[in-house]
Amino acid sequence: MVGLGNPSAKYEHTRHNAGFLALDAFASDWKTQKKAQALVTRTASAVFAKPQTFMNRSGEAVRALCDWFHVPSERCIVVHDDADLPFGDVRVKHGGGTAGHNGLKSITAHLGSEDFWRVRIGIGRPQNPSAPLDRYVLEPWSAEQEAALPDVVKRAATEINRLLNTL
């Protein structure tokens, strides 16, 4: 289980860190250690990781983690922000393209496969259609979004739990 985001306090409350937020809510009280370019928490049945490589290089950490823990790509779950979903939607998907998401592009390139699970957290798109998406994802949540985040993160944790019980 890999939550995508950017390390550093600068990005902590940005839309691109939705994957980190969901993992934090799901695995908030577990002890972490640094391994394979990620902060890692292990349980008896799963490994939870937050890559520390920045979004565009997430695949480096994911590949290293899959190798280290002997996890095939089809059992890998990636939790990430998705601008193609309205804010607050949470959807699970297996395989598929990257939809321009740089973290997914990096993971696909390093795994050599799109055959992994995704928990997609909708962040919506900028209100101004001409606003650059790369800036939008690195901006803080709006006040309205921030207020709704606990519910969104709770739904993402429910989907994560469901996947863990299925795989």
Q: Tokens for 104, please give them.
A: 């997914």
Nearest to 50 by CA among 103, 110, 125: 103
Under 8 Å between Cβ of 3 and 50: yes
Compute the chain's Rg from CA coordinates.
15
Burial label for 116, CB within 10 Å (0-12, 13-18, 19+), is: buried
Q: Is 80 a catalytic residue?
A: no
Residue from 16, 80, 101, 110 carrying the catalytic annotation: 16
Residues taking part in catalysis: 16
